[in-house]
Structure 1
């Protein structure tokens, strides 16, 4: 059966319209199914202590981070790490270039404290037997590098030797140089053996009672003064046994009969230490070791000065009575003192007589000249 041409074209147009709508719907459905479900997950990556970088990881269709996102995450972390490193470098640079506001935290030498005299070896005016000094234009700040075989002292008592980088510190005036004198036992005294006794020592021009941890801070800081200009520190007493009171051979510093740090402040200008149980019979030398807070021997401003420490010699016997040798030593010492005093008196008398003679002679010459005139 033949359809009119108009009907045919109408049916064709309708068919195409329906097909187009169906295709569009199908494409929309396919597009919707193809779009993956996107989940955003935030993770924190720690780059350095106290610094963190946050990176965003995108999970696509539950199958993990896409390559593009992973690359971005790595880049972000790297950037954060670079920033942290830059900050650290900046801090180090500030310290090493002296930009820190506190010079005690700076790693550079401030030109204001350079001792120009350290560059002089002292040989511009040589003296017999004098050796040249070591020299430095940077205050010897890296001196310990010259002894690479030795460890840094670093607050420890290293028995095999070490190199100490700490400066000497503050030095008092000549009027504040410390001095000490034992008040018990007295020089050439005799005390009873195996009996507790108390060492006492008068001390002046030093603020005692200052000591640090000897196991962690030994020689680890400079000497300092109090507001009166006196060294802040403490003392020690050590007793060494001798073969006799007339011993002339040096003692061994590693061997001693008694040692004690006098860490308490002096009472009435006197430091004390109890020798519990006393000492065995024999002959002994008692010495003081006056020290700054960090246990270094006290430093004073001039080379020619009286002793900053004291030493006395005494005997110990079973009954506390002087033996013949002790008495003889004391008598000899007393005799020597008397002889010395007598010699001094004779010398003074002779000097006085010579002066009077010279004066008389000079007067006679003047009178003779007057008569001639």
Structure 2
């Protein structure tokens, strides 16, 4: 371990200035280099998507500055919009401050390298869209992340600041939430310089009907 990269602040548990409910941080004097040895019951992630859980020794990497924090906004479907059931459509999502088109082999290099940036400081990565069916637009119970109606990695570079995904089979009639998952090249969630920031992702809600028109108040 090169002594010049040791983060001496990692030895501080943060409790010198306690706040109500604040817990002590884990500490290390060697950048947690052997952290995974403390959880021998877990396999090393090793670039794999281990569904039962794992321990990943890769460092977080380059943290994006506040002026380079990514964000996204869905163009289509629109929030509270209505589209026709079982009909192909194209998701459109505007993206900024993410150098898109960078994705690695998700089966062999998952979380296997640090986040990195381009010469302008923008995270080099890609995005995803996931569509989940809801019981209603007013659903308040958390959804099940293991279940989704559509998922697509947006691996291409954005065209004129917009990423797209074709939902070729459409969706059955119902109510849906569509969310972005903006990621670094090795599929980890993007990391930024400060804790207090606006959302780095977007989510909108839309309805799918048999005729593609919104239900009226009398229907």
Which TM bucket (shorter chain)?
over 0.9
| Distance of 1:172 and 1:218 partners within structure 2 | 20
Structure-2 residue corresponding to 1:136: 28
Relative CO higher for 1 or 2, CA cutoff 8 Å, sep ≥ 6?
A: 2
Question: Shift of residue 172 of structure 1?
Answer: 1.5
| Distance of 2:128 and 2:216 partners within structure 1 | 32
Structure-2 residue corresponding to 1:53: none
Matched, 1:271 2:163: yes
Structure-2 residue corresponding to 1:189: 81
Structure-2 residue corresponding to 1:260: 152
Matched, 1:232 2:127: no
Which of 132, 140, 152 is the equivalent residue of 1:248?
Answer: 140
Q: What do you get for the CA RMSD once the two structures are aligned? A: 1.1
Structure-2 residue corresponding to 1:15: none
Structure-2 residue corresponding to 1:370: none
| Distance of 1:162 and 1:147 partners within structure 2 | 9
| Distance of 2:169 and 2:106 partners within structure 1 | 26
Which of 174, 199, 203 is the equivalent residue of 1:282?
Answer: 174
Unaligned ranges ≥5, structure 1: 1-108, 329-373
SS at match of 1:215: coil
Matched, 1:159 2:51: yes
More strand by share: 2
Matched, 1:111 2:3: yes
| Distance of 1:323 and 1:286 partners within structure 2 | 20
TM-score by length of 1: 0.58
CA-to-partner distance for each residue in 1:335-368, whole Å, 9 max, x for gaps?
Answer: xxxxxxxxxxxxxxxxxxxxxxxxxxxxxxxxxx
Which of 70, 82, 87 is the equivalent residue of 1:178?
Answer: 70
Structure-1 residue corresponding to 2:99: 207
SS at match of 1:191: strand
Structure whose alpha-carbon radius of gyration is higher: 1
Which of 119, 126, 141 is the equivalent residue of 2:18?
Answer: 126
| Distance of 2:161 and 2:186 partners within structure 1 | 21
Question: Shift of residue 324 of structure 1?
Answer: 3.7
SS at match of 1:183: strand
| Distance of 2:143 and 2:65 partners within structure 1 | 33
Matched residues, number? 219
SS at match of 2:50: coil
Matched, 1:297 2:200: no
